[in-house]
Chain A
Amino acid sequence: MTSPCHDAGGGGILTADATSVALVGNPNVGKSTLFNALTGARQSVMNAPGTTVELHVGTWRDAGLQVVDLPGTYSLVPRTPDEEVVRDTLDARPGTPALVVVDATALSRSLYLLAQTGAARPVAVAVTMLDVARSRGHAVDLDRLRAILGVPVVGVDPRAGAGLADLPDAVRGARPLTGVPDTRGLEPLEAADRVFSWVDDVVTRLDPPAPAPVSRSDRVDRALLNPWLGGPVFLAAMWALFELTTTVAAPVMGLVDGLVVAVADAARAGLAGAPSWVTGLLVDGVLVGVGTVLTFLPLLAIIYVALALLEDSGYLARAAVLADRLMRVVGLDGRAMLPIVIGFGCNVPAVAATQTLPTARQRLLTGMLVPWTSCAARLPVYVLLAGAFFPEHAGTAIFGMYVLSLVLVVGGGLVLRRTLFRDVRREPLLIVLPAYQRPHLRGIARSVWARVHSFATRAGSIIVVTLTLVWVLMAVPAPGAGADAGAPAVEDSLYGAVAHGVAPAFAPAGFDDWHFSAALLTGFVAKEVAVGALAQSYAVADDSPAGLGEHLRATLDASSGGHAAAAALAFMVFVLAYTPCLATAAEEWRRFGARWTLRMVAIQLSVAWLVAVAVFQVGSRLGGAA
């Protein structure tokens, strides 16, 4: 079972030498697939001490060992914090054996890392991608490799489980490599040269047949990376991803939502005799919270399947190449395009999609930008306000919100790169392209299940607890509001009191009124209910926008000193820029930990406030001058 273990302190990731093994390998060699196949569901995730780099730790029952899946790296001379974690984790336990995963289609590259890893510690080798090598006419003779290296070598296909039974013995027989040159004290380039002469020697003795000059993948790339065709195909893929997040997911989410409502109604009927606070707490608090989590599950599953298909098929690496130039402007990897596109549908799976980025810092940086992508749930708020305040130019006002959303993402990226993320270097594009292949459905099902399960338990618990607290705030009358029987009106509840309390903070933005601050509080929980909350606070039905519009105009006229349109625009901007919803925050908490999530919420609130104030101050002056 996946369990949370964030910010695990100390250096105890690898336990006693004889009871654990580290999985080491280049990116995309099949390490995680192997880790999942060895440990099944007996895994947990922890952060390497002092970093946001995730390490997966699991129990390998057949070998009686604890396995740590280290981030993929080309070298133990690190270029990123993720790679530093690999080096540091190995350095902290020099006697712990490493199972080095070697890619049969890229022997030199894999052997280089093997040489660095096995120079002083016991190693065993698992060779993956033998099928791909074979199909390219580049078969590897494992017996000969074993004889040359003098350490255990096992051929595996972790997707199908082939060869795994031989791995426990291999790890037990792990020993250091002999003949690897001593590179201590050498300059990195000189050291690399020495190691590569050893690698070349091994490869020469192995004498593999020359690979076929043009592979099937090359022929596919002729089309998909073609300067003219590549862009449109990439855009079509991004469009499909966006459609999945919105058009395809919506009916499924609606179905789950309908089910939750039916269960809630049944529960209410079943609890008819119970005191109203019990029904409220259980149904409107806990059950609604669980329902919120459940409605996100199909959406997340759809996006996880789509991402896994993109990754497994090999297209994700091509997408990184195609989007590189554009994303480089913000200093991001081309793969950051995916979460940002998904974010315009829904921010929750977009934060989840940051997993496709190669390093922890890139994932975090992209995770901070995603909330500024204007998700579909924000649209009803824009529609309501634009319709009420700019009936002639509603379309332009709404379009402006999307432009501003892009400005926030790009501007936010540029500012963050110069402040909190100065260490994220602008790396030249240098990506190994995996061969195109048919996705392996069993593997996808396994990883999608693990990820959805992890969201449901880890982000889910945060959502349920917070929604229950919100219910309590709404159910408890504010001091001095009089304790009538039943739930108090929103304004008289503790929730209303909080809304009243924070309203003055919005005076410089022209909407210091409790109706609006209450809608923002509700919008913090979920944007899709913000319009309903506004309607509820005026006690009008939210399907009568005309009536609601009049109330809104009257309120903002009063709060803004006659600049209602500027205040409405400022409110729309605030809705765009502040924390998108509780589920997004919970997902960020799950991925990046509490400290970063709180920091993100603080940044989002500050930016939203500053931009809203700027819009109102400029807008009201322009309006006044007109």
Chain B
Amino acid sequence: MHLADCPLDTDVTVLAVDPDCSACLRMCEIGLRVGSCVRVTQRGPAGTRVVAVGASRVALDAQTAARIRVAWDPAPVGAAT
């Protein structure tokens, strides 16, 4: 499943970030990296997603959200910011 397809308010873990993406390193630096626990908090216009990364919120466009592969989180891991 990709971040773009995630239901709202559900904890998921990032499995992979498309390495071809030019902003791959920056996504990782902002907190969207393999292993982090994230949650889609809002679907905006034109497929935009707002994602909770720890206590902070990051907005992504539809294409970027489609580059992040995630899986259901078995147990909420809130501590990672």
Binding site for B on A (CB under 8 A): 74-75, 77, 79, 103, 105-109, 112, 133, 136, 138, 188-189, 192, 196, 200, 203-204, 207-208, 210-211, 213-215, 217-218, 221-222, 225-227, 230-231, 317, 321-322, 324-325, 425, 427-433, 435
Chain B positions within 8 Å of A112 at CB level: 29
Interface string of B26-70 (1 = CB under 8 A from A): 111111010000010111111010101111111111011000000
Residues of B within 8 A of A (CB): 9, 19, 21-31, 33, 39, 41-46, 48, 50, 52-61, 63-64, 76, 78-81
Q: A321, B48: Cβ atoms under 8 Å?
A: yes
Check B45–A433 contact: CB distance below 8 A: no
Q: A77-B25, A106-B55, A213-B9 are in contact. Are A218 and B41 (CB under 8 A)?
A: yes
Does B33 contact A196, Cβ atoms closer than 8 Å?
A: yes
Q: Please state if A225 and B58 are interface contacts (CB–CB under 8 Å).
A: no
Residues of B within 8 A of A321 (CB): 44, 48, 59
- Alpha-carbon distance between A321 and B52 when the two chains are bound, in angstroms: 16
- Residues on A with C-beta less than 8 A from B45 are 225, 227, 230-231, 322, 325
Check A75 against B56 for contact (C-beta < 8 Å). no
Given contacts A203-B79, A210-B76, A322-B45, contact A428 B61 (CB under 8 A): yes
Contact status A325-B46, CB under 8 Å: yes
Determine whether the beta carbon of A107 is less than 8 Å from that of B60. Answer: no
Q: Is the CB of A430 within 8 A of B58?
A: yes
Which of B21, B29, B44, B64 has most A Cβ within 10 Å?
B29
Q: When the two chains form their complex, are residues A433 and B59 in contact, meaning their CB atoms are under 8 A apart?
A: yes
With a cutoff of 8 Å between Cβ atoms, the chain B residues found around residue A188 in the complex are: 25
CA distance A430 to B22 in the complex (A): 12
Q: Which residues of A contact B58 (CB under 8 A)?
A: 430-433
11 extra A-B contacts, CB within 8 A, seeds A210-B78, A317-B59, A432-B30: A75-B25, A77-B25, A103-B56, A138-B55, A189-B25, A203-B81, A321-B59, A428-B64, A429-B60, A430-B23, A431-B59
Q: How far is the CB of B37 from chain A (nearest CB, A)?
A: 10
- Which residue of chain B is the closest to A217 with respect to CB atoms? B57
Contact B28–A196 (Cβ < 8 Å): yes
Instruction: Collect the chain B residues with CB atoms within 8 Å of residue A433's CB.
Output: 50, 56-59
A494 to B50, CA, bound (A): 62
Q: A109-B30, A427-B23 are in contact. Are A211 and B61 (CB under 8 A)?
A: no
Q: Within 8 Å CB of A425, what residues of B?
A: 22
Of the residues A105, A192, A211, A429, contact of B25 by C-beta under 8 Å = A192
How far is A213 from B56 in the complex, measured between Cα atoms in Å?
Answer: 11
Residue from B9, B55, B59 within 8 A of A136 (CB atoms): B55
Inter-subunit contact A429/B59 (CB<8 Å): yes
**Shortest beta-carbon distance from B42 to chain A in Å:** 5
Chain B minimum-CB-distance residue to A429: B61
Q: How many angstroms between the C-alpha atoms of A317 and B33 in the bound complex?
A: 22
Point out the residues of chain B lying under 8 angstroms from A427, CB to CB. Answer: 23
The answer to whether B80 touches A108, judged by C-beta atoms less than 8 angstroms apart, is yes
